[in-house]
Each structure stands twice: as C-alpha cells, then as structure tokens.
C-alpha cells in the first residue's frame, strides 16, 4: 500500500528511535513493550503503525537503504565520469557510516541476521542492487584507465565495501583522524589498489 | 587459575558448540538451558565448567583470538622479512575468516557487543595487540620500500582488517571464487594500495 508523506515520516521517526532500542538491547533482547514505550505508543498503537517486530526490523533496515539512496546516490546521479562518480560514492558512503546520527541503523543493517522469508529477500535485493552499481562503476573506471584490469570489479567492490563498512567498528569522529582525512586516504588507497597508480 | 590441558580442551569443545547456539539464537535469545543442553550438560554442570553466560561468551571470543595466535601468527613467528611476513599474515587471516569450521566464532568475535566490564577490557586488549602487530609490520614494509609513505600504517591496517573481516558477509567457499584467488587478489590489492606498485 502507498503511504502518505506523513505516514512515511512517522515510520521513519519510529525507525530511528527503535533502532537505538535494538542496538542497546539486541533484537532478541528488546520486548514489544520496550519498543512501543520508546516511541510513546501502546503495543496496539505500534502494531497499527508497523505491524510485527520483524516488520519493524525490516522497516529499519529498509530505511538504512533509503538513506543510502537519498543522501549518497541521488545527489550524484547526473555525474557522468565514472572515476568522479566512484570517488563521490566512496566519500558519501563513508559519510553515511561515520555519521553519528544514524550509527545504530548502520549497525543493524550490517549485523542483523534475524530477518527471514520475503522480507529478507526484499532487503537482500536492495543490497545487491548497490553492489551491482559499484561493480559496474568500477568496471568502467578500469576501462577508462586503458590498463589491463588487475582485479575483478566484483572483488574490488567487496574490498571497498569491507574497508568502508568496517569503519563503524573502530572509527570515532571524536578521535584524532578527521572524516575528510579518512575519505581522502581511503579513496586514494582504493584507486591505487584498483589501478596501481592514481 | 591455570587450567590443565584436558580442561582447556573441554572448554574449547564447549565454545565451539555453544558458538553455534549463540549464532543461531543470538546471545540474548539463547537461554542457559539451550546452552547447557547443546553440550550435554545440566545447567549446574555448565556453570562448573565455564561459570556464567557472559563468561561463556568471553571464553568463545577469547578462543577466537587463540585460534588467530595459534594458526596464523605462531607458524610465521620466525619469518623476518616484513613484506613476506605481512603477506603470510594476510593469507592466514583470510583462511581463518573463510574457514567454515569456525565461522560462528568469527561472527561472534566481530559482532558481539554484549561483553562488559573487565572481560570486555581483556578481550579488547587482545584485539588491540593484533592491530599493533599489523601497524608495526605495515610501517616496516613502507620503510623497506624506500618510497615516501602514502597512507599511515594505522589507516592501512584498518583498511586491511575491513577487507578481510568483511569476507564473512559475502564470501562462500562453495561459490565461484576460490580461496587462493581471494588471497592472491586481496594481497596484491593491499600492497598496491599501500605502496602504489607491487
């Protein structure tokens, strides 16, 4: 069913708050009561808005993918040079991971294996869509470089996803390394790894 | 207290089996009853062997770090050339992550934030020890190359850890990419990223 803009905003607000509850208590550790209370609803009210607990988890993970689309990919959709587009994708993806505001959503998106059935399938299809976008872009960067490829675009895409998605395990914006340093050094490191030179 | 070799083996067997229980049900989702039953003990028997549930989680994570020390680092302790030592470390670490036998331990080692207090501190100190080992080794590889460093050894170490530790999210030994291909392409990619050439 199509949601009104207001309903969508409501769901997103619930997602943001309940992501913190799942993060703190774990998916299995958080009761429906905990989840409803955090957003100021009764259990019946929460059910009305999002349905079951696993539907809520899906909404949170799906919202994580929406943020990627809206804040990273949409702003650069008209960039045509593959290398520049990849560079901006890397910078945007890093920003998404280290941005404190959505940290819980990031963690839940990567760590949660609790979804099953059609919801899991739907989410995995979205994740795969982003991987294919990266594979295609990396392949075009390799073609543009006019050197023989040194690694398959797919392996390079997974190496890149690992480098970036792992940031949440160790990087803190309050630490000694600035976000723009991370973006610069990681982007250069990736292009050297991909092409041998930058 | 010092454990006998037999007691150590018993604990490891419990760790291996209960890692699967935590993996399947999550730490919060698994009851003491589930955990004890899986290893054929009563709750009292399990308590005798490992103590509390969080002590068991610590033992599992600690065992994960033992496996790294024993199967990756100990065999190459006499390798003196920094680049060769780093290369073998990467290959060994990749093997550890993709090895199906200990997959659950890998996941629990990376994803679990449930430890707290002194047990968490103890485990983090072991993880940090490995990071410092990599930072030192990478720094020596850079020195050996006689080129100005293009990235700090610490950032390069975290990029490497991300690339490798992320493998469990997508790599399957039953898929089209062999483990030796992964090891080769990832090692080359990393050295290009680090040094610009290989």
A27 — contact with chain B (CB < 8 Å)?
yes
Greatest mean pLDDT among A26-30, A56-60, B115-119, B185-189: B185-189
Q: What is the pLDDT of residue B43?
A: 92
A155–B contact, CB cutoff 8 A: yes
- pLDDT classification of A1: cutoffs 50, 70, 90: low
- Average pLDDT of the segment spanning B173-182: 92
A86 compared with B25, residue with greater pLDDT: A86
Query: CATH topology for B60-195?
Result: Tetracycline Repressor; domain 2 (1.10.357)
A146 — pLDDT class (breaks 50, 70, 90): confident
The rounded mean pLDDT for chain A is: 91
Nearest to B166 among A151, A166, A194 (CB): A166
Beta-carbon contacts of A151 under 8 Å, excluding residues fewer than 6 positions away, are A159, A193, A194, B185, B188, B189
- Going from N- to C-terminal start, the domains of chain A cover 60-195
**Separation between Cα atoms, residue B85 and residue A114, nearest integer Å:** 39
* pLDDT for residue B108: 80
Map B65-132 to HEC letters. Answer: HHHHHHHHHHHHCCCCCHHHHHHHHHHHHHHHHHCHHHHHHHHHHHHCCCCCHHHHHHHHHHHHHHHH
Give the model confidence (pLDDT) of B89-122 as tens digits: 999 999 999 886 677 887 787 776 678 889 999 9
Confidence of residue B5 (pLDDT cuts 50, 70, 90): confident
Is A73 near chain B, with CB under 8 Å?
no
pLDDT tens figures, A26-49: 888 899 999 999 999 999 999 998
A158-175 pLDDT per residue, tens: 999 999 999 988 998 888
Name, of A4-18, A29-43, B3-17, the range with top average pLDDT.
Answer: A29-43
Determine whether the interchain pair B29/A25 forms a contact, defined as Cβ–Cβ distance below 8 Å. no
Question: Per the CB < 8 Å rule, is B158 touching A166?
Answer: yes
Task: Judge whether residue B1 has pLDDT over 60.
Answer: no
Among A67-71, A128-132, A151-155, B21-25, the range scoring the smallest mean pLDDT is B21-25
**Rounded CA gap, A36 and A40, in Å?**
6
CA distance B147 to chain A (A): 14
Q: Nearest C-alpha of chain B: how many angstroms from A170?
A: 8
Q: What is the pLDDT of residue A182?
A: 96
pLDDT, greater one: A127 or A7: A127
The Cβ of residue B41 has, within 10 Å, a number of other Cβ atoms equal to 16
pLDDT at B75: 97
> What is the rounded CA–CA span in Å between residue B141 and residue B128?
20
Looking at the complex, report in whole angstroms how far the Cα of residue A77 sits from the nearest Cα belonging to chain B: 27
Q: Supply the pLDDT for residue A3.
A: 73
What is the token pair recorded at A127? 């994740």
pLDDT band at A105 (very low <50, low <70, confident <90, very high): confident
User: How confident is the model at residue A198, as a pLDDT?
Assistant: 60
pLDDT of residue A57: 92
**Residue A25 pLDDT greater than 90, yes or no:** no
């Amino acid at each position: 069913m199509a949601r009104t803009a207001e309903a969508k905003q409501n769901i997103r607000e619930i997602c943001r708050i309940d992501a913190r509850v799942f993060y703190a208590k774990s998916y299995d550790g958080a009761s429906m009561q905990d989840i409803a209370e955090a957003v100021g609803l009764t259990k019946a009210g929460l059910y009305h808005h999002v349905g079951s607990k696993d539907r809520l988890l899906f909404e949170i993970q799906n919202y994580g993918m929406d943020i990627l689309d809206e804040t990273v990919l949409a702003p650069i959709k008209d960039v045509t040079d593959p290398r520049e587009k990849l560079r901006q994708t890397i910078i945007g993806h890093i920003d998404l991971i280290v941005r404190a505001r959505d940290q819980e959503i990031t963690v839940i998106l990567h760590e949660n294996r609790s979804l099953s059935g059609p919801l899991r399938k739907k989410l995995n299809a979205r994740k795969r869509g982003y991987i294919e976008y990266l594979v295609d872009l990396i392949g075009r960067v390799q073609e543009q470089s006019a050197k023989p490829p040194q690694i398959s675009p797919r392996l390079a895409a997974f190496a890149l996803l690992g480098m970036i998605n792992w940031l949440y395990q160790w990087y803190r914006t309050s630490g000694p390394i600035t976000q723009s340093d991370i973006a610069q050094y990681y982007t250069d490191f990736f292009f050297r790894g991909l092409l041998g030179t930058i």
